Amino acid sequence: MSATVHDQPAILGGRPLRSDPYPSWPVWDDRERALLSQVLEAGGWWEGDGDVARDFAQAFAEFQSARYGLALTNGTHTLEAALAACDIGEGDQVIVPGITFVASATAVLAVNATPVLVDVDPESLCIDPAEVEAAITPATRAVVAVHVAGAAADLDLLVGLCERHGLRLIEDCAHAHGTTWRGRGAGSWGDFGSFSMQRSKLMTAGEGGVLVCNDEDLRDRAWSYANCGRVAGEWFYHHPGYGSNLRMTEWQGAVLAAQLERFPEQNARRNRSAVALGEALSGIDGLRPQRRDDRMGTQGNYCYVFHYDAEAFAGMPLRLFEASLAAEGIPMGVSYPSLSDLALFRERNFGPRLRSSAPTIDYAAVRLPVAERAAATTVWLEHRLLLADVDDVLDVARAASRIQQGAPAIVAQRGGDQ
């Protein structure tokens, strides 16, 4: 339960608003223990393409409204396998949004293609379809649409745009487990949907990934790439094409099968909490929740994001506002920087692998004003807080109000903190 609100903000020495911790992450129980024990006793735990991981990936694909699911090592490799299956490589361009984890772009580099960075929608933070259309050239082969914090990119516009221009659409769903668009799961709209099961994600085995799709040929091409270039049904040592070893282990499959069992209830709880928190934050001057599109039924809520206007908080810098929330007991994340600000691109640090095929784009000249501003003006909260009781979740709004009331004093005493 929330503590009594004191006049003095915690960052200035007052008693923190919250004394009780939010739920921890990850969550596990006897379901994981039982399935891990079954894998151990079955003796096939050394396999990288066993039934447990395979069955989990298929069940997860169906949960996300897709026909096929592949169990892979992580969410970076799922993107790489998707691009490889789409025959994207040297000389090809792939459009990527400015607000995302770097893997959305480095997976493009991994297949020797060129990432083209474009700006995002100012409210949802997802890729802006108008910016995508403006960036298309004869070399463009695909679009990576990232569903940021589980908020779906505009799939209606993106699917139509890609169909008109003959482009592949790859949905980066690392944040979007459980997100639906017009009643269908995220990841089932494009040629591929890529999901991460890394430690912080909404389902986790520490690492892991699932690649979903609806096309049997694309599935087979992606699996061949992930399975050392093998072809299903052929001799084990028949390798007709290039591939890598990107297979998930049975241990991970067991943990994730248990995670999937409890996920629907967690997803529903997070959605209830997110909607309530959005209503509460909307009543605070200077705070604006990330847009939740009406065409989404549920949102994965990998984190909870809201826009912050420092002017409504006596000019308090974003990092000081975040520190003030953390002092009140709110579990904080942090926004991705815009890809346009990363040294990887600005200094062209592509490494030896790309010496002969490095992108020729002058990334130092690329500016993404919306993405860059969003990185400097959005607050990202850990998704575990959304698993708490709704009244505890609303402590985020209470803490923000408390900080706003004490903002002049915080800025006067700590204004140099960034």
Q: Which amino acid is at 71?
A: A
Instruction: Quickly state the pLDDT bin for 47 (edges 50, 70, 90).
Output: low
Interval 130-169: pLDDT, tens: 999 999 999 999 999 999 999 999 999 999 999 999 999 9
Q: Is 294 exposed, middle or buried (0-12, 13-18, 19+ CB in 10 A)?
A: exposed
If you average pLDDT over residues 275-283, what whole number do you get? 98
The pLDDT of residue 233 is 85
Nearest to 108 by CA among 121, 119, 95: 95
Q: Is 91 exposed, middle or buried (0-12, 13-18, 19+ CB in 10 A)?
A: exposed
Written as six digits, the tokens of 106 are: 């480095």
How many residues does this entry show for the chain? 418
Instruction: Quickly state the pLDDT bin for 355 (edges 50, 70, 90).
Output: confident
Interval 319-345: pLDDT, tens: 999 999 999 999 999 999 999 999 999
Instruction: Quickly state the pLDDT bin for 254 (edges 50, 70, 90).
Output: very high
Q: Report whether pLDDT(48) > 80.
A: no
Instruction: Quickly state the pLDDT bin for 264 (edges 50, 70, 90).
Output: very high
Give a yes or no: residue 187 inside a domain. Answer: yes
Share of the chain above pLDDT 90, in %: 90
Active-site residue list:
101, 172, 175, 198, 201, 230, 237, 247
Give a yes or no: residue 214 inside a domain. Answer: yes
Residue 118 DSSP class = E
Give a yes or no: residue 291 inside a domain. Answer: no
- Rounded CA-CA distance 185/180 in Å is 4
Strands 192-196 vs 168-172: parallel, antiparallel or unpaired? parallel
If you average pLDDT over residues 80-96, what whole number do you get? 97
Q: Report whether pLDDT(4) > 50.
A: no
- Rounded CA-CA distance 371/102 in Å is 14
The pLDDT of residue 326 is 98
Give a yes or no: residue 266 inside a domain. Answer: no
Q: How many helices (H) and strands (E) does the chain have?
A: 14, 12
Give a yes or no: residue 5 inside a domain. Answer: no
Give a yes or no: residue 350 inside a domain. Answer: no
- Show the domain range for 86: 30-258
Residue 140 near residue 166, CB atoms below 8 Å: no
Interval 96-122: pLDDT, tens: 999 999 999 999 999 999 999 999 999
Map residue 414 onto helix, strand or coil.
helix
Phi first, then psi, for residue 296 (nearest 5°) are: -85, 135
Residue 36: give its domain's CATH number: 3.40.640.10
Q: Report whether pLDDT(73) > 60.
A: yes
Instruction: Quickly state the pLDDT bin for 232 (edges 50, 70, 90).
Output: confident
Instruction: Quickly state the pLDDT bin for 46 (edges 50, 70, 90).
Output: low
Instruction: Please tell me the pTM assigned to this model.
Output: 0.95
Residue 150 near residue 291, CB atoms below 8 Å: no
Residue 11 near residue 410, CB atoms below 8 Å: yes
Give a yes or no: residue 271 inside a domain. Answer: no
If you average pLDDT over residues 406-418, what whole number do you get? 87
Instruction: Quickly state the pLDDT bin for 352 (edges 50, 70, 90).
Output: confident
User: How confident is the prediction for the chain on average, in pLDDT?
Assistant: 95
Interval 11-22: pLDDT, tens: 999 999 999 999
Q: Can you state the percent helix, strand and coil of the chain, rounding each to 5?
A: 40, 15, 40
Cis peptide preceding 26, ω within 30 of 0: yes
The pLDDT of residue 1 is 41
If you average pLDDT over residues 354-381, what whole number do you get? 95
Share of the chain above pLDDT 70, in %: 97
More confident residue, 46 or 75: 75
Query: How many domains, the chain?
Result: 1
Q: Report whether pLDDT(3) > 50.
A: no
Give a yes or no: residue 246 inside a domain. Answer: yes
If you average pLDDT over residues 223-250, what whole number do you get? 91
Interval 185-224: pLDDT, tens: 999 999 999 999 999 999 999 999 999 999 999 999 999 9
If you average pLDDT over residues 75-95, what whole number do you get? 97
